[in-house]
Structure 1
Amino acid sequence: MIETAAPPASRAGRALFVATILTGSFLLFLVQPMVARMALPRLGGAPAVWNSAMLVYQALLLGGYAYAHALSKLRPRQSAAVHLGVLAIAALWLPIGLYDFEMPADAEPAVWVPWLLGASIGPLFFAVSAQAPLMQRWYAVAAPGRDPYALYAASNIGSFGGLIAYPLIVEPTMALGRQSLVWSAGYVALFLLVAGCAWRLPRRAEAAEIVGEASPPAPVRRVLLWIALAFVPSGLMLATSTFLTTDIVAVPLLWVLPLGLYLLSFSVAFAVRRGIADTITRFAPVTILLFGGVMIAGHNAMPYLNAGIALLLLFVVAVALHTRMYDLRPAPDRLTGFYLAMSVGGALGGVFSGLVAPVVFDWTYEYPLLVLAAGLLVPQTYLLPMVARLWASDRRGMWLRIAIVAIVVAGLAAVAIRQDVQPGGGTGAENVIYLVLCVLGILLVGQRTAYMIALFGALMLFGGWRALEVTIEGQHRTRSYFGVYTIRNYAYERTLAHGTTLHGIQLTGTPERERFPTSYYVWNSGVGIALRMAPELYGPNARVGAVGLGTGTLACYAKAGQRWSFYEIDPAVVALARNPAKFTFLSRCLPQARIVVGDARMRLAQEPAASLDVLVLDAFSSDAIPMHLMTREAFETYARVLPRNGVLLVHTSNRFLNLEPVVAASARGWMGAMLQYQPHENEGPHATMSDWIVLTRDPSTFARVISDGSNWRPLYPRRDLTPWTDDYATILPVLRAFQ
C-alpha cells in the first residue's frame, strides 16, 4: 500500500512518536556501558563481566517486551495510564548508580554480576525497554493505516547513537557522577514525551479498539523461525564481543562496537528504503563463506584487520537475518508479539554464548556453530543467471554436482591440513584455496545443500581443524568464565596461551630447566631484577605478592624464609598452576604458596596495611588489562599494603595500549622508571621482550633498584592525559593506533 502525504498534524504526531522512541532507545543503550563502567572497581575487569552485563540487559529487555505485549491487550488509554505509573515508580531508582552492596569474598561472577546489575538498574531498564514496541503500537492506534514498523529503525538509530556516544563523547568528557545526573535528566524528558504520546491516543474506546482488520495469529512454525533469526545474530554479537575485549582491553569502547553494529543492523533491515538491506542480504552467503574461517583460526598477526573482519561479518549476518525477519513480519496489530518473539531469540542467543558455551565447550565452538547456523538461515538467491541454469536440471544431476562439490572441499581440506594453511600466511596453497572458495561462493549461493558443504569445509580449512588438533594430539585445553587456556607440549618446553596471547613457557627435561624463569619473567627483565634484589632490600624474610598467577613462573624467584602470596581471579588458572602434570613451577619452587582467589584489588583491600614488601602487578587477560587496576584509587590500595620503601612492579607489555603514561599519571607520589627489555641472543627463544615499570615512594630504594646497570629510564608523564580514576577513565589517548 502506498501511503499518502500526511497532513501537518499527522506529521507532528509522527515526529512526537519518533522523538519518544529515539530518546528511550538512546537512554537505554547509553546506560549499558555506563553501569558496566561503574561496576569495574567492584566486579573486576574480566571480559566475561561485559557478557554477564549483556545477559542482564537482554533479560530485562525481554521482560520489557513481554510487558509491552501484555499492555497491548488493554485499551490504549488504559495502557498509557499503566505505563506512566510504571515509569513513575521506576524513577525511585534515580539518580542511576550501583546498589550499595558488598559482595562476598567467594562471589561467583556469573551469579553476582546479574544480581548486582539487576538490583541497581532493573526497574529503570525494564520501564524504558518497553518504549520501542509500545510506542509503535500506540502509533498504529493513533495513525491508522500508517506503517509503524518504520519507527523501529528510528529506535535502533537511537540505540546505536547512545552506544557510540558513550565511549566517544560521554566517557571522555564526564565523570560518572555527572553521567548519572545527565541520564536522570534524560529520563525525566522521556516521561514527558511518553505523556505527550499518551495524550494523542483516541479517547473513544470503540475507535481505539480498531487498528485495521484483526489479522490471524502467526503459526507456531513462523514464530519459531522469528526466534531462530534473532538467536543467531545475538549469540554472534556476544561471541564477537568476547574476541575483542579479550584480545584488546576490557572497556566499553570496544564492548560497544559489536552491540552498536548489531543494533544498526535493525535500522538497515527495517528501513523503508530496501536497497541497502537487500544488497547486503544478497551477498551475505559469500561473505559468510569467505570470512567465517578467518575468524575462528585464532591467529593474531594482524589484530586490527581481524577485528575489522569480525565486525564486518557480524554486521552482514545481522542485517541478512534481520532482513528476513522483517520480510516475515505480521500485520501491525500483531507487532508486539513479533517483537516479543524477537526478544526471546535475542535472550536465548545471549544465554547460549554467555552462559551455556563456557560451561559446555572447552573452546569457542559457539562461534563456528553460529556461523554455520547463519549460513543455514540466511536468504539465498542465485547471483548469476547462468548459475541458476546450472542447478535447474534433473534431481540426479543436481546431486551429482553436490557430490563433486563435496569432493573438491575434501581435497582442499587435505591440502590445507598437510601444508598447515593459515589465514594471513600468504602461502601459495592458501591463495589457491581462497580463490577456489571465491568461485564456490559464486557458484553455490542459491543451492543451500552444496553451499553448507562448502561452508563447513571453509570453517574446517582455516580454523576448525586447528581447534580440533589440540584435542587430537593429546594437548590440554580448558575454558572458564574468563577465557580459553591452551597448553601445548613441545620437544623441550611447554606453553600456556590465553586466547591468542602467550602467557607462560616452562622448559622441560631436567629439574634445573623446569625451575628456570622464562618469557616475560627472565632473569634480566624488570621483574627479575627487582625480585633478585628483594633479600638485599628487605632481608631474608621479604614479603612478596603477585597479582596474576599464570603458570607460576615467578615462584622460582622465591628464597627460603620469604613469604609469598599470589592473587588470581580465575580458579581454572590455579588448578593448572598447581597440577604438576601441567606446570611444575609451584610444585618445585614454592609448593606451599599462598594463593588468594578473587579480584586482586578487592582482595588486597582486605589485607593488613604494610603487609607486603614487593607487589607485582601482572593481571592480563590475553592482551586486555582491567582498567580498574590502573586507577588512582587502585594505586592508593597498593600504597596501603606496601610500606613506604616497598616496591611495586607493573607489567605494561601490550600490543594495543601505551600504558606508561597511564601509570605515570595514576601513581601520584611514587617515583618510577621503566625497563623495556630486549632478550639477548644467548637467552634462547624462551625469553620474551617485556616492559616493566618499577615504582616506590622511597628515594633510597628507588636508587638501589635502578642502579643495577640495566637501561632503566624515567617515566614520561603526559600533560594532556587526565589520570584514570574510578569515576573517570578513557583509553582513547593511549591507543597505539592513534599515536
Structure 2
Amino acid sequence: MTLEKQSDRGRVIFVITILVGSFLLFLVQPMVARMALPRLGGAPNVWNSALLVYQALLLGGYAYAHFIGRMLPRHQFALHIALLALAGLTLPIALADVRSLGQGWEVLWVPLLLLASVGPVFFLVSAQAPLVQRWYALDESAGDPYPLYAASNFGSFAGLISYPLLFEPFVPLRQQAVLWSAIYVVLIVLVCLLMRSRSRLPHLAKQTAPSTANAGTPIGPERVGMWLLLAAVPSGLMLSTTTHLTTDIFAMPLLWVIPLGLYLLSFTAAFAERRATARVFTRTAPLIIVLAGAMAMTGKAGSGLLVVFTSLLMLFSISVALHGRLYDLRPDPSRLTFFYLIMSAGGALGGLFTALIAPLIFDWVWEHPLLVLMAAALLPLGGLSDWQQRIAGSEKTRLRALAVGMVIAAAVACGLFYSSINENWLWTTVTLFMLAGLALTMKFSHFAFVVILALIMVGRGALTHLSAYSLGERTRSYFGVYTIADREQDGIRVLTHGTTVHGRQFLGPKDRLEPTTYYGEHSGVGLVLSHADALYGSGARIGIVGLGAGTLACYRQPDQVYRFYEIDPAVLEYSTEGVFTFLEECAPDSQTVIGDARLELEAEPAGQLEILAVDAFSSDAIPLHLLTKEAIETYGRSVGPDGLVAIHISNRFIALEPVLSAFLRDSGWPGVIRIDQGDESRSLTASAWVVISRSEQKIEELLETTGRDEWRALNDNGSAVWTDNFSSAIPHIRWQTMLRGSQ
C-alpha cells in the first residue's frame, strides 16, 4: 500500500469521527429540550436558560480541548477516552432528579437540571471537533487540519435536521435516548482507532511533544478581537433572523431549524479546502446584504415567503463571508485549539446578546437590523474596481464622492419612505435599486456602505414602526413582542402577538364588553361559557388557560368563579392597568395564576373546576406539551368526571383536529367540534373549538342546550396520539397554506 493511500485512509477515520461527534452534539440538544418540555413548561426564558447552558458547555469543551493540548499526545488520548467512558455511565440520557429551588429561582434551577442531565456527555462531545483536528495535525505531513471543521459542521447540520424529520416523528423519546447512547459507544471506538492511527508517529512513540517550530507569529489582541467579532455577529444574526421572521413576518412551525441549519452549513462552505463556494458568496454578499437588508426593519405580517427567502439568503451569505474571513485569519495548526476557543466565546457572546440582553433593552427585534449593519461593517467589500480607481483615485476625490453620495442617498431614502406611504411599489423598487447601486459604488468606504444600508432600512421599514408607535404601544418580553393599536376608524383596540391578533375591544361605552375575535357568542367557547349555568347550575367554577385581552371574562355571571392561567406577566398588566377592561369590569375578583398552565394545574387539587377553556398559543406556534395525552388528562383531572374542556385549535399552518381526534379515539372520551365562520363586521374571527369530556351524558347535555346543529363529530384520519414520549407536528402541517405565505 502506498504512503498516499495510507494517508487518505487515515484521513477518512478522522472525518468519520468528527462527523459522528458533531452529529451527536446537535441531536442531543432538541432531544433533551423535548424531554424537559412537560416538566419545565414552554416558557421562552426556560429555553434561553437552556441555550446559555449549551453555549457554556460548548465553551467549556473547547477550553478543555485547548488545555489538554499541552499534554503529551498519548496522555491526551488516554485522558479523553477515560473521560468519555466515565461520562457514558450517565447514559441513556434522562432528566436528572433535581428538586425545584422554588418560585422565582428558575433562572438557577433550570441550568442545574440541564447540567445534571446532559452536562458530562455534552461537555466531552463538544470537545471533539477541535481535538480531532489537533490530533490530525500531529502528523505534520497530513496537511491542513482546518478543513475538517467543514465536516464537523456538516455533521452538526445532519444531526439538527434529522431530529424533526426522522427521530421525532418515528422514534419515541426513550428509544431516542437508547439510540443516542449506541452512537456514543461508536464514537468511543472511533477515538480509540484515532489513537491507534497516531501511535506510530515518531514523536508520539518517543513520548515527546510535537514540533512547534512552525508556530508562526504571536497572536495580538487585535486579531483575537477580530476573531470574536467575526464569530459573534453570525451567531447573533442567526438567532435574530429567527426571531424577526417568526415575530413579524411568517410564524411558520419549525422555522427556527432553517436559520440554525444554514448557520452550520456556512462553516462547511467557509472552511472547505476548495475555496470556490466561499469566494462566490463573499463577492456577492455586499449586493445581497444591500437588497435583502432593506427588509431588516420590516415589521409587517403578510410579507410572505419573499421576505423569508431573502432573509435566509442574507444570513447564509453573511455567515459564509464572515466565517470565510475567520478561516483566512486562522493561525498555525499549533494554535488551533486556542482559535476555536475564541470562536466559541464569540458565538456565545452573540447568542447572549440576542437571546437575553436584547429582549431586556429593546421593545421590538431591533437587534436584527443592528446586527445586519455590524455584518456590513465586517464584510470584505473588495475595494475599488479599475473604473472606480480611475474616477476616484485620490483621497480628496474620494471624500468629495463620499459627500455627494451621502446627499443623494438621503434624498433617495426619503423617496423610498414616501413611496412606502403611498404603496407605490414600482417607485419603491426603482429607488431601492438606485440605493443599492449607490452603495456598491461606495465600496471603498465601509462607513459609506453602512450608512447607505442604514438609509435603505429606514426608508423601507420606518413607516411600519412609526405607525405602531403612533397608534399605541409595544411591549417585549421573553414570550414575544406585543403591540397595542387603537384603530379609530373602527373604534377598536387591538392586541397583536407576533403575527396573530390575540384580542380586540371596542372603545365605545355601548359595546366595549362585547366579545370579539375567536370568542364570540357563537364560537365553541362562547356557547359553552354562556350556557354554564344551564349545564352546571349557579356558581359554576371556570378556568381559562391564556388571558390575552381578557375577552372571555365577559361571559362571567355574578355567582360564577373564574380562574385565569397566564404565563406572561406583561399580558396581565394590560388587564390590570386599564389597557383592556374585560377583566376589570366583568371579573374583578377572579384569580390569575402566573406560570405554565399545565404545571400549575398538575399542582392543584383534582376536580376544582367544572369548565376549562384552553387557549394558550403564542402567535401561530404550537405548544406541544399542552396538547399531549398527559396534558389533556391533566385538564380532565382538573374538571372532574363530568367536566368540560374546550380547546382552541384555530391555526393557519397546523391541522390540529386530527390530534384531538386521535386522543378521543385512544381514550374513549366523547367530544365535538364547533367551526364558527365569524363576522368581520362585528370584529369576530373564524375559529375552531373542540369540547371534550369523560362524560358522554355531559356532551349530550351540551348538544341539547346549545343546539346540535352548532356542532359535529371530529374527523379521524388515523393519526397517532401525541404523548410526552412521542409527538410530531410535521404530519399535520398545511403545506399549501405555508407555501402561499402568511396571510
Instruction: Assess, with a 3 A threshold, how the Cα gap between structure 1 residues 48 and 289 changes in structure 2: closer, same or farther.
Output: farther
Instruction: Assess, with a 3 A threshold, how the Cα gap between structure 1 residues 108 and 305 changes in structure 2: closer, same or farther.
Output: farther
Q: Distance in 1 between matches of 2:451 and 2:58?
A: 36
Q: CA deviation at 1:679?
A: 2.4
Q: CA deviation at 1:600?
A: 0.6
Q: Report matched runs for 1:491-502 at 5 Å.
A: 491=488, 492-502=491-501
Between stretches 429-438 and 451-460, larger displacement belongs to 429-438
Q: Report matched runs for 1:6-17 at 5 Å.
A: 7-17=4-14
Q: CA deviation at 1:419?
A: 4.7
Q: Distance in 1 between matches of 2:632 and 2:263?
A: 37
Instruction: Assess, with a 3 A threshold, how the Cα gap between structure 1 residues 26 and 680 changes in structure 2: closer, same or farther.
Output: closer
Matched, 1:413 2:410: no
Q: Report matched runs for 1:364-375 at 5 Å.
A: 364-375=365-376
Q: What does residue 577 of structure 2 align with?
A: 579
Letter in 2 for 1:447: S
Between stretches 93-102 and 614-623, larger displacement belongs to 93-102
Partner of residue 483 from structure 1, selected from 465, 474, 480: 480
Q: What does residue 94 of structure 2 align with?
A: 97
**3-state SS in 1 of match to 2:137:** helix
Between stretches 551-560 and 646-655, larger displacement belongs to 646-655
Q: What does residue 718 of structure 1 align with?
A: 717
Q: CA deviation at 1:342?
A: 0.4
Instruction: Assess, with a 3 A threshold, how the Cα gap between structure 1 residues 160 and 222 changes in structure 2: closer, same or farther.
Output: same
Q: What does residue 680 of structure 1 align with?
A: 679
Q: Distance in 2 between matches of 1:426 and 1:674?
A: 44
Q: Distance in 1 between matches of 2:388 and 2:3?
A: 45
Structure 1 residue ranges, 4+ long, deviating more than 6 angstroms after superposition: 247-251
Matched, 1:115 2:116: no
Matched, 1:150 2:147: yes
Letter in 1 for 2:316: F
**3-state SS in 2 of match to 1:496:** strand
Q: Distance in 1 between matches of 2:351 and 2:513?
A: 43
Partner of residue 71 from structure 2, selected from 68, 74, 91: 74
Between stretches 664-673 and 241-250, larger displacement belongs to 241-250
Q: Distance in 2 between matches of 1:215 and 1:567?
A: 61
Matched, 1:255 2:256: yes
Q: Distance in 1 between matches of 2:407 and 2:3?
A: 59
Matched, 1:182 2:183: no
Letter in 2 for 1:185: A
Residue pair 2:298, 2:464 contacting (<8 A) in 1 also: yes
Q: What does residue 741 of structure 2 align with?
A: none
Q: CA deviation at 1:416?
A: 4.0
Q: Distance in 2 between matches of 1:395 and 1:469?
A: 42
Q: What does residue 554 of structure 1 align with?
A: 552
- Deviation sequence 1:325-352 (CA, Å, 0-9, x none): 0011111111111111100100001110
Q: Distance in 1 between matches of 2:609 and 2:265?
A: 50
Q: Distance in 1 between matches of 2:280 and 2:36?
A: 41
Q: CA deviation at 1:652?
A: 1.3
Q: What does residue 429 of structure 1 align with?
A: 427
Q: Distance in 2 between matches of 1:612 and 1:587?
A: 22
- Deviation sequence 1:89-130 (CA, Å, 0-9, x none): 222221112112353562565544333222211111000111
Q: What does residue 648 of structure 1 align with?
A: 645
Letter in 2 for 1:238: L
Q: Distance in 2 between matches of 1:496 and 1:399?
A: 49
Q: CA deviation at 1:711?
A: 4.0
Q: Distance in 1 between matches of 2:242 and 2:100?
A: 26
Q: Distance in 2 between matches of 1:678 and 1:477?
A: 30
Q: What does residue 440 of structure 1 align with?
A: 438
Identity of aligned residues (%): 48
Letter in 1 for 2:95: L
Residue pair 2:542, 2:611 contacting (<8 A) in 1 also: yes
Q: Distance in 2 between matches of 1:617 and 1:389?
A: 69
Q: Distance in 2 between matches of 1:246 and 1:599?
A: 21
Counting matched residue pairs gives 725
Q: CA deviation at 1:513?
A: 2.5
Residue pair 2:413, 2:431 contacting (<8 A) in 1 also: no
Q: CA deviation at 1:142?
A: 2.9
Residue pair 1:240, 1:314 contacting (<8 A) in 2 also: yes
**3-state SS in 1 of match to 2:295:** helix
TM-score, length-scaled by structure 1? 0.93
- Deviation sequence 1:124-147 (CA, Å, 0-9, x none): 100011111111111111344511
Matched, 1:526 2:527: no
Matched, 1:734 2:735: no
Q: Distance in 1 between matches of 2:351 and 2:90?
A: 26
Instruction: Assess, with a 3 A threshold, how the Cα gap between structure 1 residues 51 and 185 changes in structure 2: closer, same or farther.
Output: same
Q: Distance in 2 between matches of 1:250 and 1:430?
A: 27
Partner of residue 635 from structure 2, selected from 626, 638, 655: 638
Q: CA deviation at 1:250?
A: 9.4
Q: Distance in 2 between matches of 1:227 and 1:276?
A: 23
Q: What does residue 538 of structure 1 align with?
A: 536
Q: What does residue 340 of structure 2 align with?
A: 339
Matched, 1:506 2:502: no
Residue pair 1:105, 1:598 contacting (<8 A) in 2 also: no
Q: CA deviation at 1:673?
A: 2.4
Partner of residue 613 from structure 1, selected from 593, 610, 627: 610
Matched, 1:400 2:403: no
**3-state SS in 1 of match to 2:642:** coil
Q: CA deviation at 1:82?
A: 1.9
Between stretches 294-303 and 652-661, larger displacement belongs to 294-303
Q: Distance in 2 between matches of 1:206 and 1:451?
A: 54
Residue pair 1:630, 1:666 contacting (<8 A) in 2 also: no
**3-state SS in 2 of match to 1:167:** helix
Partner of residue 53 from structure 2, selected from 33, 39, 56: 56
Give unpaired runs (5+ residues) of structure 2.
Answer: 738-743
TM-score, length-scaled by structure 2? 0.93
Residue pair 2:252, 2:620 contacting (<8 A) in 1 also: no
Instruction: Assess, with a 3 A threshold, how the Cα gap between structure 1 residues 676 and 6 changes in structure 2: closer, same or farther.
Output: farther
Letter in 1 for 2:82: G
Residue pair 2:608, 2:638 contacting (<8 A) in 1 also: yes
Query: RMSD value over aligned CA atoms?
Result: 2.3
**3-state SS in 2 of match to 1:56:** helix
Q: CA deviation at 1:427?
A: 2.6
Give unpaired runs (5+ residues) of structure 1.
Answer: none
Q: Distance in 1 between matches of 2:499 and 2:412?
A: 26
**3-state SS in 2 of match to 1:713:** coil
